[in-house]
């Protein structure tokens, strides 16, 4: 068994090229073949968010702490709370991050394709798009 100890993997600051604001990533697993699993815990400070991006096999986001936001392109912004799971379809442009005034931590889970392809990154999310009012939760 391979136990990857927490103190062997320092928290990383998410790259400025693909994120807005201060975002921190803790690796959970980068699976080795035949596994295609990828998982990380991501913490967004208020206003922090990903750029627009897509995942070839989709992505599952599980909200752990705080208040977050997620939006599929062409749909309304959705608010996320602890215990919520957001299912991102394959090859669908979207972004996720904190609410403007709250911390947010989610568990991000995805898989690569058979050929190893992963996330595709696009432009950053504009402030205008980011501050749009989330859809009311029923
Ligand atoms: Mn994503």
74: closest CA among 58, 95, 60? 95
Cα(85) to centroid(ligand 1), Å: 13
Q: Are 94 and 54 in contact (CB under 8 A)?
A: yes
Structural domain includes residue 70? yes
Structural domain includes residue 120? yes
Cα(62) to centroid(ligand 1), Å: 11
Structural domain includes residue 8? no
Instruction: State pTM to two decimals.
Output: 0.95
Cα(127) to centroid(ligand 1), Å: 18
Q: Are 99 and 46 in contact (CB under 8 A)?
A: yes
Structural domain includes residue 4? no
Give CA–CA dist 30/1, Å, rounded.
15
Mean pLDDT of 118-127: 97
In 51-112, which ranges are E strands?
Answer: 53-54, 59-66, 68-72, 78-80, 85-88, 94-98, 104-111
Share of the chain above pLDDT 90, in %: 93
Cα(3) to centroid(ligand 1), Å: 26
Please give the residue range of the domain that contains residue 54. Answer: 24-130
Cα(96) to centroid(ligand 1), Å: 6
Structural domain includes residue 10? no
Structural domain includes residue 12? no
Residue with tokens 């205008």: 128
- DSSP assignment of 98-115: E-TTS-EEEEEEEE--TT
Cα(56) to centroid(ligand 1), Å: 10
Structural domain includes residue 58? yes
Mean pLDDT of 26-42: 95
Structural domain includes residue 136? no
CATH number for the domain harbouring residue 100: 2.60.120.10
- Give how many domains the chain has, as a whole number: 1
User: 5-27: per-residue pLDDT in tens?
Assistant: 999 999 999 999 999 999 999 99
């Amino acid at each position: 068994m391979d136990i990857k100890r927490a103190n062997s993997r320092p928290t990383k600051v998410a790259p400025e090229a693909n994120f807005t604001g201060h975002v921190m990533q803790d690796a959970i697993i980068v699976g080795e073949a035949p596994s295609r699993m990828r998982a990380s815990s991501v913490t967004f400070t208020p206003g922090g968010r990903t750029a627009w991006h897509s995942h070839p096999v989709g992505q599952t986001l599980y909200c752990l702490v705080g208040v977050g936001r997620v939006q599929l392109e062409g749909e309304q912004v959705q608010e996320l709370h602890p215990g919520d799971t957001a299912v991102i379809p394959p090859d669908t442009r979207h972004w996720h991050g904190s609410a403007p005034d709250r911390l947010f931590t989610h568990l991000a889970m995805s898989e690569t394709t058979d050929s190893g392809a992963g996330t595709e990154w696009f432009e950053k999310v504009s402030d205008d798009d980011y501050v749009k009012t989330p859809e009311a939760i029923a």
